[in-house]
């Protein structure tokens, strides 16, 4: 299979994963503001907060290959980016599986006893590991390393455009869903009870996510309106700027809302600040710092 097709498939697979991760993140964030959340024991609130930050890690891992492709390789296909996408997609499934199990535990605890909730969460976690790791390990086929194949040829323009638009589609569905969750939160009673600084943080986060949506939708409109749907090097250059720029406000939006959610869940501004600081370091480190470092080295 050609390198460019392998990379395109890897990006499409990331689309399947990241939408679920971001929607689950939005659900957990929204759940913090439900009326019944106050009645949860502190341990359950901590579990929900842990799931929230596990999903932040998953989102960071799933978007990182696209940033590597754009920043380090300048849109050219390479075995390194393909290996990077494969490794990070596999790694992202672990925090998603843990977060899913924690969410199932939290939901079942509200319906049944805590023992049944623990059992249900454990069953979902084991099932996820079996379907996402064990089965793949059993059926894994050995392939020839990319390094033993012919050196990759320059990626054709039409392939670069296709992959660029795919990378935008990797991010935007989950971002749009997250924006919807952010908007609905402002209509809850719990949001009105937040301190003023938390409300301002959420407002800034909402604007950041809105900017990310605008930036990610720009390449499609640019391609259709300005270039009539034709592949063009100028379009590739301009659209790449939009796709590279969009995760920056996304990172700050996720970080600020993580701070708001953690502050309400843990009832500790210090803990929320520490967790949010860790989240933004992970996001910006994976999406910008490491790719820019690799680009300077190359």
The span from the CA of 227 to the CA of 293, in Å, is 33
How far is the CA of 102 from the CAs of 59, 124, 173, in angstroms? 17, 9, 24
How many separate domains does the chain show? Answer: 1
DSSP string across 15-28: HHHHHHHHHHHHHH
pLDDT at 75 over 60: yes
| Nearest CA among 165, 179, 164 for reference residue 250 | 179
**What pLDDT does 247 receive?**
95
Q: What is the rounded distance in angstroms from the CA atom of residue 52 to the CA atom of residue 46? A: 10
What are the pLDDT digits (tens) for 10-56?
A: 888 888 888 888 888 888 888 888 888 888 888 888 888 899 999 99
pLDDT digit string, tens, across residues 213-264: 999 999 999 998 988 888 899 999 999 999 999 999 999 999 999 999 999 9
Cα distance between residue 44 and residue 109, in whole Å = 9
**pLDDT value for 147:** 46
Average pLDDT, the chain: 88
CA distance from start to end of the chain: 27
Among 28-37, 79-88, 122-131, where is mean pLDDT lowest? 28-37
- What's the pLDDT score for residue 101? 93
Backbone torsions φ then ψ of 150, nearest 5 degrees: -65, 150
Q: pLDDT tens across 151-194, in order?
A: 667 888 888 888 898 898 888 877 888 888 889 899 888 898 88
pTM metric for this prediction: 0.87
pLDDT over 60 (residue 283): yes
Q: Which residue has the higher pLDDT, 143 or 37?
A: 37
> What average pLDDT score do residues 141-151 get?
53
| Nearest residue to 85 via CA among 96, 70, 98 | 70
Domain extent for 74: 3-297
Is it the case that residue 149 has pLDDT exceeding 70? no
Above pLDDT 90, what percent of the chain?
45
Least confident of 21-30, 114-123, 197-206: 21-30
Residues in CB range of 52: below 8 A, 6 or more apart: 25, 28, 29, 99, 258, 261, 262, 265
């Amino acid at each position: 299979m050609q390198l460019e097709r392998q990379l395109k498939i890897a990006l499409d697979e990331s689309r399947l994963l990241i939408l679920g991760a971001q929607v689950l993140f939005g659900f957990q964030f929204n759940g913090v503001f439900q009326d019944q959340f106050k009645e949860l024991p502190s341990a359950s609130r901590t579990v929900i907060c842990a799931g929230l930050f596990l999903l932040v890690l998953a989102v960071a891992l799933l978007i990182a290959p696209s940033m590597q492709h754009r920043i380090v390789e300048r849109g050219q296909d390479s075995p390194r980016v393909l290996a990077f996408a494969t490794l990070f997609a596999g790694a992202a499934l672990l925090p998603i599986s843990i977060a899913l199990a924690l969410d199932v535990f939290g939901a079942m605890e509200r319906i049944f006893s805590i023992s049944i909730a623990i059992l249900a969460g454990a069953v979902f976690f084991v099932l996820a590991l079996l379907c996402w790791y064990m089965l793949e390990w059993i059926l894994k086929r050995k392939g020839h390393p990319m390094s033993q194949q012919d050196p990759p040829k320059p990626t054709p323009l039409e392939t670069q455009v296709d992959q660029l638009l795919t990378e935008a589609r990797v991010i935007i569905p989950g971002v749009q869903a997250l924006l919807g969750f952010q908007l609905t939160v402002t209509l809850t009673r719990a949001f009105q009870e937040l301190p003023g600084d938390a409300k301002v943080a959420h407002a800034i986060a909402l604007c950041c996510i809105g900017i990310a949506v605008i930036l990610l939708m720009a390449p499609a409109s640019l391609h259709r309106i300005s270039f009539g749907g034709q592949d063009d090097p100028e379009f590739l250059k301009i659209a790449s700027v939009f796709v590279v720029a969009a995760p920056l406000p996304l990172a700050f939006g996720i970080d600020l809302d993580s701070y708001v959610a953690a502050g309400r869940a843990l009832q500790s501004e210090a803990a929320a600040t520490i967790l949010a600081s860790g989240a933004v370091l992970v996001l910006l480190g994976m999406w910008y710092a490491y790719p820019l470092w690799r680009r300077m080295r190359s």
